[in-house]
Amino acid sequence: MIYTVAPDASGDFRSLREALEQAPSRPHGPLTLVLRTGEHRLGVISRSRVRLVGEDPKRTFLLPQEDALCLQGSDLQMENLVFHQDHTPPVRVQGNRITLRACTFSSLCFEAGNACLEDCEISSPPEFRGGRARFRNCRLPEENASSFSSPDVFSGSEPTFYLCGDSTMADYPPDQSPMTGWGQALQALTGLDVQNCAVCGRSSKSFISEGRLSLIELCLRPGDVLLIQFSHNDEKPDRERCTHEATFPLYLMMYVDAARRRGALPVLLTPLPRRCYEDGGLKRTHGIYPGIIRALARRENLLCLDMEERAEQYLASMTEEETRHLYCHVAPGHPNYPRGLSDNTHLHMEGAMAFARLVLPDLQAICERQVCEA
């Protein structure tokens, strides 16, 4: 999940300090925080495995609370941020494997650890007091530009998989267990860096209208992977979510174009089937939508993971009753569902794990290919 920090209280957190103290860590990959346009202040960033992304590279400021801002955590990533105003002291870099991209500084002091700076602008010559740094495509004072490089700093990392989708993919809190999205299960099955941005009840249209795709696009980097899976709620009749034969591919292309603009890989997925049987066989309930996804993938030469087809084959190996445990059927008396639950759309933890395994080898192969091509 991507969290937002906004001083006007319009985000998930009001201050960066609050976000760093309260936002949960992820099993794989960094905690990602998008800083909304404006001023954000902090004295020390000591938490490790954090990624800060500014909403606007010219109008998102990260400034010291009192004295200089000190970067102490390891595996910090910061992008699209302005670290100075008039008379701001140098940013003190002390952590290991710190990456700064598309940031603006008045000056920096590398006191310990190592850092990599890409596409940054630095007004004054950096100071080196024990730390190391490598500069790529940075604007430095011309008289010193050639001297600020160290060849033995860290290299790049594996891609992040961003998941866009609905409740069959989404994460669920403990008080809704055993209901589980397959994207949630994916994070437990693998060491891949997964950012599950899927949200219950969203269609390809409403996900965009709520600004969720824009937030993801802001965080995408070259080599990342955008998984796109919609249909369940595109079928709904309300104006906020409904798409049809003409509009559904247009909305899907907005996701594809967002990925391409950022140098990421878009991957389409057909929806998971509902547990709906007719005349002894599984009935397809998604109408025109899976076919549109497959046709768009062919037209645009996109990778398409046909989860509908794979899940149907998997379910066909069982009787109708044997498939019951894969979907969220809960007997009365469960602490989260005292009256029980009979749900043939949403997944039980067992089903989420089983369906995630259907595409896991593909995602691992994609990860390997993206690393090799980086």
User: What DSSP state is assigned to residue 232?
Assistant: T
Mean pLDDT of 332-361: 97
As a whole number, mean pLDDT of residues 218-237 equals 96
3-state SS of 22-49?
HCCCCCCCCEEEEECCEEEEECEECCCC
252 plus 174 within the same structural domain:
yes
* Any domain includes 224: yes
Residue at 155 is within a domain: no
20 and 165: one domain?
no
Residue 340 near residue 334 (C-beta atoms within 8 A): yes
Short-list 217, 228, 215, 224, CA closest to 2 = 215
Judge whether 41 lies within some domain.
Answer: yes
Q: Do 54 and 188 sit in the same domain of this protein?
A: no
137 and 86 in one domain? yes
Q: What is the pLDDT of residue 155?
A: 45
> What would the mean pLDDT of 52-74 be, rounded to a whole number?
92
Read off the pTM: 0.89
Tell me the C-alpha distance between 58 and 303, whole Å: 35
* Range scoring the smallest mean pLDDT among 17-21, 129-133, 328-332: 129-133
Asked if the model's pLDDT at residue 84 lies above 90, the reply is: no
319 vs 244: CA distance, rounded Å: 33
Residue 66: inside a domain: yes
Q: Do residue 239 and residue 307 come from a single domain? A: yes
Under 8 Å CB-to-CB from 141, ≥6 apart: which residues? Answer: 122, 123, 124, 125
Q: What is the mean pLDDT of residues 225-251?
A: 97
Q: Is the pLDDT of residue 104 over 50?
A: yes
Q: What is the pLDDT of residues 272-306, one digit of tens each?
A: 999 999 988 999 999 999 999 999 999 999 999 99
Q: With bands split at pLDDT 50, 70 and 90, how would you rate the model's confidence at 371? A: confident
Comparing C-alpha atoms, which of 159, 181, 122, 143 is closest to residue 328? 181
- Which residues neighbour 106 within 8 Å (Cβ) at sequence distance 6 or greater? 83, 84, 88, 90, 122, 123, 124
Beta bridge partners of 91: 108
Residue 10 phi/psi, 5-degree rounding, is -90, 0
Residue 213 belongs to what domain range? 160-373
Instruction: Work out how many domains the chain is built from and give that number.
Output: 2
Pairing of strands 341-347, 303-305: unpaired
Average pLDDT over residues 35-55: 95
Same domain, 355 and 280: yes
* Helix (H/G/I), strand (E/B), else coil: 156: coil
CB 233 within 8 A of CB 241: yes
pLDDT tens by residue, 243-280: 999 999 999 999 999 999 999 999 999 999 999 999 88
pLDDT band at residue 28 using 50, 70 and 90 as cut-offs = confident
What is the rounded average pLDDT for all residues in the chain?
93
The fraction of the chain above a pLDDT of 90, given in percent, is 85
Residues 228 and 109 in one domain: no
Domain identity same for 108 and 52: yes
What residues contact residue 140 under an 8 Å CB cut-off, 6+ apart? 122, 125, 126, 148
Bridge partners of 31, per DSSP, are 50
Cα Rg of the chain (Å, integer):
23
Q: State the Cα angle at 208 between 23 and 361, rounded to 5°.
A: 70
pLDDT at 150 over 70: no
Q: Which long-range contacts (CB under 8 A, 24 or more apart) does 103-110 make?
A: 103/57, 103/78, 103/79, 104/57, 104/58, 108/133, 109/68
CATH code of the domain in which 262 resides: 3.40.50.1110
* CATH assignment of the domain containing 139: 2.160.20.10
| Residue range 104-131: mean pLDDT, rounded | 92
pLDDT at residue number 280: 84
Are both 133 and 170 inside the same structural domain?
A: no
Is 152 within the bounds of a domain? no
Domain endpoint, select from 121, 147, 173 = 147
Do 32 and 140 reside in the same domain of the chain? Answer: yes
Residues 203 and 332 in one domain: yes
Token pair of 315 as six digits: 């379910």
Which residue, of 104, 124, 147, is where some domain finishes?
147
Q: 87 or 240, which is more confident?
A: 240
pLDDT digits (tens, 9 = 90+) for 158-210: 899 999 999 999 999 999 999 999 999 999 998 899 999 999 999 999 999 99
116, 147, 178: which is the final residue of a domain?
147
- The answer to whether residue 360 scores a pLDDT higher than 80 is yes
| Residue 361: inside a domain | yes
Domain assignment present for residue 214? The answer is yes
Q: Is residue 300 part of a domain?
A: yes
Strands 91-93, 108-110: pairing is parallel
Percent of the chain with pLDDT over 70: 95
| Residue carrying the six token digits 């066989």 | 281
Q: Are residues 206 and 275 in the same domain?
A: yes
